[in-house]
Amino acid sequence: MALLVLQCGLAVATVTLVGTRVVYSMNAKFADVTAENSGKQSAQMVAWIDDGDINSTPDTSSAPFLLAPAVKVIGPGRKQVVRIAYSGGSLPSDRETVYYLNITEIPPKSVGSQSNPVVQLAVRTRIKIFMRPAGLPVEPIAAARKLSWELAADSDGVLIRAKNPSPYFISMASVTLMRGDTILADLDRGMVPPWGQSEFHLPTGAVDISGATAVSYVYVNDYGGGEAFTFTLPVR
Q: Is 143 helix (H, G, I), strand (E, B) or coil?
A: helix
- pLDDT band, residue 209 (cuts 50/70/90): confident
Q: Among 132, 152, 184, where does a domain finish?
A: 132
pLDDT tens-place string over residues 178-202: 999 999 989 988 999 999 999 998 8
For residue 190, the domain's CATH number is 2.60.40.10
The verdict on pTM exceeding 0.95 is no
167, 217, 209, 214: which is closest to 190 by C-alpha?
A: 217
pLDDT tens-place string over residues 6-37: 333 444 568 889 999 999 999 999 999 999 99
For the chain, how many structural domains are there in total? 2
pLDDT tens-place string over residues 49-84: 999 999 999 999 999 999 999 999 999 999 999 999
Its domain, for residue 190, covers 140-232
Same domain, 126 and 144: no
Same domain, 202 and 174: yes
Q: Is 8 helix (H, G, I), strand (E, B) or coil?
A: coil
Q: Is 111 helix (H, G, I), strand (E, B) or coil?
A: coil
Same domain, 121 and 19: yes
